[in-house]
Amino acid sequence: MQFRDDDAFKPWLHRQSPEVCVAIATRAALRVMPLLAANSSWKDTKDGREAQARLVLLTGWCTLISGFASTCPSPEIKNDAVNATDAVSATAAAAAAAATATATAATDASLATPFATHAANAAATHAANAYAAATDATYSDCDFMGEGMLRQPLWHDAGVPVGLRPEDLGPTLFDTDPRFAFFARWYDGMARGEPLDWELQRRVALIPEETWRAGVDAVAAAIAEIEARFAVQSALVDLARQRIGGRVDRFGIGGNNPPEEVDLPPDVLRSETIIRGAVEDIAEEVESEEPDRGRIVRALEAIKAALVVVAKWTGRKVDLAVDTIIKDGIGTAIKSGAALFALDRLVQAVEGWLPFLK
């Protein structure tokens, strides 16, 4: 959508929903966020790096909340949006940061309009051509509504303007500090128009305020635990998709729909029953507020032992050498079916979750 200038842009924006206004403000914030994260924007001192990390962290929280709120508004997210805005405003020291800090407050056109302008100005202070590029990108956002807007490349077809490209800014915290690994993936997804799973974003956004105020280490630890549990739940969902006719896709062996009948040896049938029970145990514990680590470990070991039996049988069914199955483990047997792949993914996810359990 094309507007002559902001005077033409404002009337259109006033007719939009709060969610659309927040989405526009969020994407404007995302366009200047690399300026905050760029190491070249800060003094190379201990105090400078600590200030950078704190500001990028809180600004990331603020923008994460606003992005989620624009697609899935809820009272709990709106409350955190206010807290996030206050937190960033308290520490903002740069013009770009001050602009970004207002993103979650841009719930109507009166705030979203100046925010987009401030973000463009912040970009322009770093690159002469960036103001026009940021303004054009904001106007292009208006061709899309709701989540559809967030699924567009951040700079649309024009690409990142000269001066704001990675090669222009140099290394950022997202590149050099492993504590920002989640935010690196989150920003990359938002920039490409391929957001991370919204449920994962919601969980990170709802990390308690006191954790965000405690600093980067505390937040990184909280996110790692969230992602570990989320990986287990995602693996369980994938595994559930393989369940056909009450059986886990015959561990990948069979025909089309309906599957070809396959006579399973007694030891494979027993292993299938063991796997089913162990998966159910894990599914129950991952939803518990206080998961039973011992029960999860027992379930994990049961799945591993049963998979050895299944892998050997599967190897025979697809004419794979049994000694190769034993040597290479489940990874080789995965080739014979999606269910084995899903089970292997569950095993890896649970192993990644265990360190967070007491």
* Mean pLDDT, rounded, for 21-37: 88
pLDDT tens string 67-93: 888 887 665 554 544 444 343 333 333
**Distance between CA 341 and CA 310 in Å, rounded?**
12
* CA-closest candidate to residue 201, choices 70, 20, 56: 70
ω into residue 166 within 30 of 0, thus cis? no
Q: Which two tokens stand for residue 188?
A: 């990359």
* Mean pLDDT, rounded, for 4-27: 85
pLDDT tens string 180-209: 999 999 999 999 999 999 999 999 999 999
Kindly report the average pLDDT of the chain as a whole number. Answer: 77
Q: Which two tokens stand for residue 269?
A: 């049938």
User: Residue 137: pLDDT band by 50, 70, 90 thresholds?
Assistant: very high
pLDDT tens string 46-61: 999 999 999 899 889 9
User: Residue 327: pLDDT band by 50, 70, 90 thresholds?
Assistant: very low
- pTM value > 0.75: yes
**Distance between CA 269 and CA 265 in Å, rounded?**
6
The pLDDT value recorded for residue 162 is 87
72 Rama class: left (phi>0) / alpha (psi -120 to 50) / beta = beta
The pLDDT value recorded for residue 282 is 96
